[in-house]
Amino acid sequence: MRVAQVVGNIVSTVKDPSHAGQKLMIVDFLDGAGRRTGENAVVFDAAQAGVGDVVLVSTDGGASAIFLGKHVIADMTICGILDSICLDGEIKSYF
């Protein structure tokens, strides 16, 4: 699992049938201080996230199949939208 911020979305009219009805988002992963790293990825969205949301990304393809409820070709999936993170006693809120 990794923490990331949603920075965009993708619209695709032609894709593999296993991807039909699935939302694709672009995320920028965050470092330990909560700063964007510039390391972008295209991920499926199982949590109905939007641009600007800070999200939890599963980096396990097997988990993607579970979250999306069917067999898909996927490496990463947004599985939650974060409200806050507490690290070393400091709370960072994304609300």
Domains of the chain, with CATH numbers? 2-93 (2.40.50.220)
Q: What are 84-94's pLDDT values in tens digits? A: 998 888 888 88
- Residues 11-38 have a mean pLDDT of 87
Q: Mark 25-44 as b/e (b = at least 16 C-beta within 10 Å).
A: bbbbbbeeeeeeeeeeeebb
pTM here? 0.87
- For the cut 70, the answer to whether the pLDDT of residue 70 exceeds it is no
Residue 62: φ, ψ to 5°: -65, -40
Amino acid sitting at position 49: A
Amino acid sitting at position 80: G
By the 8 A CB rule, do 56 and 22 touch?
A: no
